[in-house]
Structure 1
C-alpha cells in the first residue's frame, strides 16, 4: 500500500472512531493513562494541523506555538474532523513534491513522517474506540502494513519514550501490533 493511501485510510479509521464519541464521553479515561478522550483527540488534531505547514516546508520555529493548547474549542467533533480533512488534503497535494520535513528532532524523510502519522491515527483510533465503547477491530490490511513498517522502528520508539513497554505477544496480528505499541488489547476503562 502506498504512503498516501495508507494515510488516507488510517485517517478514515480515526474519524470513524471520532464520530463515535458521545457528548458525555469527553472526560472518559483512555488507554493513554495521561489523556482523557478530549486530550487524546486534541493530540491527534494537533498532529493533523501540523501536517499542513510541515509538508509545505515550514520549520518548527516558523510554526511556533500556533498549535499549542486547546485546539477543539466548543465543537470538538467538528474541529477534529476539520483537522483530519486538512491533513488528508495536505498529504494528497504535497507529499509527492516534498522530500524532507523539519521535525522536533531534525530533518526526516517526508514519507517516513507520514507513516508516523499513520501509526498515530491507527493506534490512537483504537485507543479512542476502546475508551468510548466503540468497535476496536482494526482493518487487517492496515494492521499488516503498519506492523511491517513498525518492526524495525520499535526499539527506537521505545528508547525515545514515545511508546510504553511491549506487552505479551500472542500471534494475533492486531493484538501483537497493539502490544508492540505498549497497549493491552483487553483494556477497559477503570471501574467498567
Structure 2
C-alpha cells in the first residue's frame, strides 16, 4: 500500500501545481475551506511542506532544518515558489528509500507514513485550493481511495493531535465527499 502512495505523489504534485497555475490573479486573497487561510496562505503552506521534503527524506532532523521555512515562503510569486518547491520535492521522492525512518513533529515514524501524509495533504488541499479559487473540485479517484483508507485508519489519532478539523457528518457514498468530510470539510 505504501508503495502506491509513493507512486501517486508525483501525479498529486502535478495536479496541485496545475491548480496553483490556474488561480486567477485576483483570487489569491479569497478564503478557503481552511478557515484561517486564504488561497495564498494555502499555497504558502504547501510550498513550505514541500521545501521540507528533501531535508526530511535525507535524514535531517527538525532541529537541523530549523525555522528557515516558517512564515512567508512564496513572496511575490506564489506560482514560481510552488514550482521550485515541487521540483525539489519530486526529485527527493524519486530518489528516496522508504525503508528508513525520520523524526517528525509527532515523533519518529517510517518514511512510508510520511509518504501517506504527504499524499493526503496534497489531495485534500487540492480540493481546498479548487474550492477557494473557484476551480472544478474533482479529485483523482485512485488518490481519494488511498487517502480515504489512510484517513479512516488514522482519523482519531490525527484529531487528537489537533492537526485537522472535526469530522463533518455526511450520508454521501461518494469516496471524495467521505474523505473531505472525515477531514473536516463541509462539501
- TM-score, normalised to structure 2, is 0.94
The aligned residue for residue 25 of structure 2 is: 23
Contact 1:98-1:110 within 8 A present in 2 as well:
yes
Unaligned runs of 5+ in 1: 186-192
2:132 & 2:54 partners in 1: Cα distance? Answer: 28
Superposed CA RMSD: 1.2
TM-score for the superposition, normalised by structure 1 = 0.92
Could you tell me whether the CA contact under 8 Å between 2:98 and 2:110 is conserved in 1? Answer: no
Alignment of 1:1-192 (within 5 A): 2-94=4-96, 96=97, 99-169=100-170, 170-185=172-187
Structure 1 residue 11: Cα displacement:
1.2
Structure showing greater relative contact order (alpha-carbon pairs closer than 8 Å, 6 or more residues apart) = 1
How many residues align structurally? 184
State the secondary structure of the residue aligned to 2:138: coil
Contact in 2 for aligned 1:20/1:129 (Cα 8 Å): no
Question: How far off is 1:97 after superposition?
Answer: 5.7
The ranges of structure 1 where at least 4 consecutive aligned residues each deviate by more than 6 angstroms after the TM superposition are none
Q: 1:63 to 1:98 in 2, by over 3 A?
A: farther
Report the Cα distance in structure 2 between the residues aligned to 1:140 and 1:114, rounded to whole angstroms.
18
